[in-house]
Chain A
Amino acid sequence: DVKVTQSSRYLVKRTGEKVFLECVQDMDHENMFWYRQDPGLGLRLIYFSYDVKMKEKGDIPEGYSVSREKKERFSLILESASTNQTSMYLCASSSPTTYQETQYFGPGTRLLVL
């Protein structure tokens, strides 16, 4: 069974802290994605990666960075957390072997920044 795991389900951080969100997939997928989910806004793409050490900005990259040192792991980094980054963060992965591939999602990390 395909699996995408995220390091934490809930996280509470203080303003200005550096925050790491980890995502691991066991499907050997090339593509990995980080989204944030906010009520009424749906999912918005922060960053994605199509290969190890490769990354591309999504629609809302400001205040975030990412790291992909290994194929199975994609990390989202909040360099200096702010209260407006309180949100649900979802990781997903997919394979480009078919033209219209399906994304597989992790359970999400609910982040509260105080």
Chain B
Amino acid sequence: GNSVTQMEGPVTLSEEAFLTINCTYTATGYPSLFWYVQYPGEGLQLLLKATKADDKGSNKGFEATYRKETTSFHLEKGSVQVSDSAVYFCALSDGTSYGKLTFGQGTILTVHP
């Protein structure tokens, strides 16, 4: 079956540091890949997505590239802010019209001033 593995957390950074959160996946077919973010006390919201190999998703300074050869979708940001402190989830869609998502375990990011 499908699975998503994220790097172990939590991650603690200083403001303006470079961020990478690793995500690898196992899937049959051609899944779409997503990063969702959960701010404290809130539900999840879509951060970015990529629907085919070599696509790059980007939003709010975050980027991730769909790498089929390495089955990866690593999240990066060049300069994090305190407001980026949240839990980040990598996910893939099973490609059916139901759009079921398989999530990674989540990575807690804390950014200090």
A80 at the interface (CB under 8 A from B): no
In chain A, positions 22-79 with a C-beta closer than 8 Å to chain B are 31, 33, 35, 40-45, 48, 50, 56, 58
Please judge, given known A-B contacts A100-B32, A100-B51, A103-B101, whether A43 and B42 are in contact too, CB under 8 Å.
Answer: no
User: Which A residues are CB-close (under 8 A) to B25?
Assistant: none
Secondary structure dominating the interface of A: strand
Contact A45 B93 (CB under 8 A): no
Q: How many residues of A contact B (CB 8 A)?
A: 27
Contact B98 A105 (CB under 8 A): no
CA distance A43 to B44 in the complex (A): 10
Chain B: minimal CB distance from A9 (Å): 9
Contact B89 A42 (CB under 8 A): yes
Contact B98 A96 (CB under 8 A): yes
CA distance A114 to B79 in the complex (A): 43
- B19-63: contact bitstring with A at CB < 8 Å (1 yes, 0 no)? 000000000000010101000011111100101000000000000
User: Which B residues are CB-close (under 8 A) to A108?
Assistant: 42-43
Other-chain contact of B43, A44, A56, A58, A90 (Cβ < 8 Å): A90
Contact A31 B103 (CB under 8 A): no
B105 at the interface (CB under 8 A from A): yes
Q: Beyond A42-B105, A102-B46, list 7 extra A-B contacts (CB 8 Å).
A: A42-B4, A43-B44, A43-B101, A92-B43, A96-B97, A96-B99, A100-B32
